[in-house]
Amino acid sequence: MNRFIIIICLIFFKNFSVFANPNVDARTGILMDYHSEEILYELDPDSQIYPASMTKIMTAIIAFDLLKKNQLSLDDKFTISENAWRLSQAGYSSMFIMINDQVSVENLLKGIIIASGNDACIALAEGIAGSEENFAEMMNEKAIEIGMTSTNFTNSSGINDPENVSTVRDIAIMSKYLIKNYPVYYELFKEKTFTWDRTGGDPIKQGNRNPLLYKNVGVDGIKTGYLAVEKYSLASTMLKNDRRIIAVASGFQNKNLRSSESLKLLNWGFRNTNTFEISKKDNTFFELDTWLGKSNKIKVAPKENFYLTINKKDIRHLNISLKYEGPIKAPISKGEKIADIIVKNKDQLIKTLPLYAQEDLKKVNFFKSLVTSINYLIWGDV
């Protein structure tokens, strides 16, 4: 039988080193493509950090998880303890809740995500788990579940505790998990203001602490952090068209550097690299030629998503081929592997993606099979 190889080539520009250094002025940092999880840049990414208020990303994840499972409602209300109220005092980022207030989960989440309220963190943790210690155990269980290998949470807010530690790599993993699994609730992270109609005083309006939200450049999250021992940190993400990049960096010396260097890192990623959707489960289909079947075509598709991130100046070497031995002889069973997508960069094999039949294809009857076979032998055509 004939062997068919369909070659798809993307040709642009000249060869270039993939990960040129953008020279970020921070102690540790990482830049990751959201879809491919390719690391575009790293600066000592596994160095231990104090995540400060970036800890609140996991606090939100625990609540979102319970909301998604219908074990918690945005309308549920928790009573504010003295322990939570104490963190609404001067010197801490606060939502400014009062003892014995009945506050909804929705307002507490806004107080955490937008106003970065430490008091709201404790109130939510106590309301969900009974105590902040129990809640921290839930946070650590979730961290292990999603692949955060160098993180230990001891509280819900990230305030001073030498045992509350992580890495920028783990924060990037956590950020992707947040965006992927809770797209509706994630919308809270791009809200710029939150007004709390507090007890015993005028409403308090606070702005989101993330400085990049106000620049209208496609940034829609995620969370700032600051501790005197760690200096300034930021987990940020930018969305352009359908592509998203996540940046996490810590050890900025001041707020201005936190903003400018994080934006530089994100822009560098978009400017120098591109991500291609090679295959998407239930969305990428091919029709291949068949022989001796009741149809002369069969639809095939992959069972996994695969995205490839590559430097823009290396795209000329990208080679994607559809490979199969065809025409494919019937009968064919649904789910049978009958082709591959081959992805290469230069001569290096990047990925082999199996393609599976999406339907059963029965063989034609004996008489028609005989005629078709004779026709093929004479004319070389099915």
**Average pLDDT, integer, range 255-278:** 96
Q: Is 191 left (phi over 0), alpha (psi -120 to 50) or beta?
A: beta
Q: Is 116 among the residues known to form the active site?
A: yes
| Distance of alpha carbon 178 from alpha carbon 183, whole angstroms | 8
Residue 175 reports pLDDT greater than 60: yes
**Domain membership flag for residue 273:** no
Give CA torsion, residues 351, 352, 358, 359, to 10 deg.
180
Which residues make Cβ contacts (< 8 Å) with residue 201, sequence separation at least 6? none
- Return the pLDDT at 368: 52
* Res 4: pLDDT: 36
DSSP string spanning 194-226? EEE--TTS--EEEE-S-GGGGG-SSEEEEEEEE
Q: Which of 36, 88, 93, 116 is catalytic?
A: 116
Residue 366: the pLDDT is: 47
Strand partners, 93: none
Name the average pLDDT for the chain: 89
Does 208 reside within a domain?
A: yes
Per-residue pLDDT of 281-314, as tens digits, reads 878 888 888 877 678 888 999 999 999 999 988 8
Asked if 192 and 129 sit in the same domain, the reply is yes
Total domains, the chain: 2
Give me the count of residues in the chain. Answer: 382
- Give, as one character, the DSSP assignment of residue 175: H
- 53 counts as catalytic: yes
Domain of residue 81, residue span: 28-252
Question: 267 lies in a domain?
Answer: no
Q: List, for residues 179-205, the tens digit of each pLDDT value.
A: 999 999 999 999 999 999 988 789 999
Count of other CB atoms within 10 angstroms of residue 4: 15
- Provide the edge-to-edge strand list for the sheet that holds 243-252: 39-43, 28-33, 243-252, 231-240, 219-227
pLDDT exceeds 60 at position 1: no
- pLDDT tens figures, 225-255: 999 999 999 999 999 999 999 999 999 999 9
**CATH assignment of the domain containing 174:** 3.40.710.10
C-alpha to C-alpha distance for 238 and 164, rounded to whole angstroms: 27
Catalytic entry in 36, 56, 93, 233: 56
Find the CATH number of the domain harbouring 322.
2.60.410.10
230 shares a domain with 308? no
Please answer whether residues 171 and 235 qualify as being in contact, where contact means their C-beta atoms are separated by less than 8 angstroms.
yes
Based on the fold, state whether residues 64 and 112 are members of the same structural domain. Answer: yes
